Chains A and B, each alone.
Chain A
Amino acid sequence: AQSVSQHNHHVILSEAASLELGCNYSYGGTVNLFWYVQYPGQHLQLLLKYFSGDPLVKGIKGFEAEFIKSKFSFNLRKPSVQWSDTAEYFCAVRGTGRRALTFGSGTRLQVQP
């Protein structure tokens, strides 16, 4: 079975601070990895994804994530957050050959102006 752990449930940062949200997954094979964002009152949107190749992937709005296979991790980063980044962030994993994504429990990010 595949599973995802997000260690930070609630993160509060000031604007311009750097962000790193942790994500670890469990799956006994090759995986596809995703980060989704849910802004207040909106539905989930894809931020970035990793399938293969360069383990450092860049997404929208200045976000990036690094896949470290040896650590089963896919942490999300942003060098300088903005107030508009306030949202809930979900890491997700999908084993190759499977259709459904398994999501982590989410991390609520609050950016204070």
Chain B
Amino acid sequence: DAGVIQSPRHEVTEMGQEVTLRCKPISGHNSLFWYRQTMMRGLELLIYFNNNVPIDDSGMPEDRFSAKMPNASFSTLKIQPSEPRDSAVYFCASSPTGADNEKLFFGSGTQLSVL
């Protein structure tokens, strides 16, 4: 398996533009998580899905952020409009059900820079 795949690896955009981050979880995993990593706040959970349904979005900073999971193999995190303070590394992670559900498999992250 190729692991959790995120795209793009790097994104540089101007303030006010829409940004869409993409994630393909590991096949068969039924939970998907979006985390954001910054120097100031470390690693923060933004939202997670279970069986494509958002379970906890309390970490989403504000209405400019939205996440969708239209099917079991794809999720997006959208920021509209983007602001410089959104600059961070955004990680997607997935985990399976059953005995291995303690394992969280992370993607390589998307480095977002908003100018």
Question: In the complex, what residues of A have CB within 8 A of residue B44's CB?
Answer: 103
Which residue on A lies nearest to B92, using beta carbons? A43
User: Which of A15-23, A79-87, A94-102 contacts its partner?
Assistant: A94-102
A-B Cβ contacts below 8 A, count: 49
Count of B interface residues, CB-CB < 8 Å: 23
Count of A interface residues, CB-CB < 8 Å: 19
Interface residues of B in 44-87 (CB under 8 A from A): 44-45, 48, 50, 55-56
A51 touches B102 (CB 8 A): yes
Question: In the complex, what residues of B have CB within 8 A of residue A106's CB?
Answer: 42-43
Can you list 9 residue pairs at the A/B interface with Cβ under 8 Å? A34-B102, A43-B91, A43-B108, A45-B106, A90-B42, A90-B43, A94-B102, A101-B33, A101-B104
* Chain A contacts to B: CB under 8 angstroms: 32, 34, 42-46, 49, 51, 90, 94, 99-106
* Chain B contacts to A: CB under 8 angstroms: 31, 33, 35, 41-45, 48, 50, 55-56, 91, 93, 95, 101-104, 106-109
